[in-house]
Structure 1
Amino acid sequence: MQQISLCFSASRRLSGRSLAGVVGSGDMEVLFVADGSDTLNVDIITSVDNSSKRWTALFERLGTFGDLPAGQMTIHDFGATPGVARIRIEQVFEEVADA
């Protein structure tokens, strides 16, 4: 298991929290808790070694499509593909934005 911590500038403020996926079912799990900071802090627990560049690229791409929200995100990826990862991350952002 590898633990990765990333930090990105955030330009959107939301409130609340959201959970998408269930790691015990073989799916990727993402928990997001919004806060009033200026950063998005991401902690990732993954079974895929040497995947820091992949995760960094994914969040940089998400930032080009929209503003990243401030808060704390925890990901248990269970070896998820980048496509599944993006879907789960967008789900938690959307759920908190609509709350």
Structure 2
Amino acid sequence: MEKLTYDFASPAPAARRARVGVVASGDLEILAVPRTDGRATVTVTTSVDGFGPIWQQVLDAFFARTPLAADLTVNDAGATPGTVALRLAQLKEIAA
């Protein structure tokens, strides 16, 4: 089990709280709480150790396209980067 934390500048506040996905084998959930200070913090709790650089790449790509100011809590049960990107896209649709 590994816990990772990432911070981003994100000027667009999320419009509302949101939850996408479900923690299950090979999947993840993301919980979002809006912020108004132009920042985003992502806390990832994952069952798979050693993938910090991959998480960084996926999150860098998301925040480059979607400057969503929110605290994100990610509970991961071994999701692939493609699944993570899908859940982040779903989050954008709900929270932005």
**Number of residue pairs matched?**
95
Q: Which residue of 2 aligns with 1:90?
A: 89
Deviations 1:42-84 (A, max 9, x none): 00001111111111111111233x2321010000110100000
Aligned pairs (5 A) from 1:1-99 = 1-23=1-23, 25-26=24-25, 27-64=27-64, 66-97=65-96
Contiguous gaps of at least 5 residues in structure 1: none
Runs of 4+ in 1 over 3 A off after TM superposition: none
What percentage of residue pairs aligned between the two structures are identical? Answer: 29
RMSD, aligned CA: 1.2
Q: Distance in 1 between matches of 2:28 and 2:5?
A: 17
3-state SS in 2 of match to 1:40: strand
- Whole-angstrom CA distance in 2 between matches of 1:63 and 1:75: 15
Task: Tell whether the 8 Å contact from 2:62 to 2:88 is kept in structure 1 after alignment.
Answer: no
Aligned residue for 1:74, secondary structure, equals strand
Larger fraction in strand: 2
The one-letter code matched in structure 1 to 2:45 is: I
TM-score using structure 1 length: 0.88
Q: Residue deviations 1:15-53, cap 9 Å, x none?
A: 211111111x43311111111021110000011111111
Task: Give the alignment's TM-score, normalised by structure 2.
Answer: 0.90
